[in-house]
A and B are shown apart, each in its own frame.
Chain A
């Protein structure tokens, strides 16, 4: 594995595949979550309302994740360090 790690082409490959895999993993997770939120009885076709629900579900999930990140950053700036507020 040492020799493999030193190969720059292999390193690039591993980095690219890891990123692709993180993407895939998120798609698996989001599909499952949004399926629970959006899907009624599965019909012969995906209707446009359900499709819109899936799109909104993904967009709002990312918004929520960004909102939480920003808010956490804000509260950290204004208050005591994170490690302290966690320990009380």
Chain B
């Protein structure tokens, strides 16, 4: 994490000092940061939802049935995410076509 942000600052600052900021480099780094942020967002929400669904009373370990439940829950959460994304996207297209 630290390496990532200091690389970013060094890259932008170094190029800026030379006269012009390398826009391509910035775009690449922004894309990576966005992808990381989105993965973290999904991970955090998925963990929260699947913990609630699968772990009723936390025991001394994550037992077999809980692990199975969490695995299925992860897959179903991804399914749900994709359906929501597709539905929302097609709704946006329809709204745009109406205007």
Contact = CB atoms under 8 A, between A and B. Distances in A.
A3 B69 CA distance: 51
A28 B42 CA distance: 7
Contacts, number: 92
B27 A10 contact: yes
A58 B21 contact: no
A51 to B, nearest CB: 6
A20 to B, nearest CB: 8
Interface residues of A, number: 35
A7 B46 CA distance: 38
Given A4-B21, A7-B21, A31 B16 contact: no
A63 to B, nearest CB: 10
Interface of A: 3-4, 7, 9-10, 13-14, 17, 20-21, 23-28, 30-32, 34-35, 38-39, 41-44, 46, 51, 54-55, 57-59, 62
Interface of B: 12, 16, 20-21, 23, 26-27, 30-31, 34, 38, 41-42, 45, 49-50, 53-54, 69, 72-73, 75-77, 79-81, 83-85, 87-89, 91-92
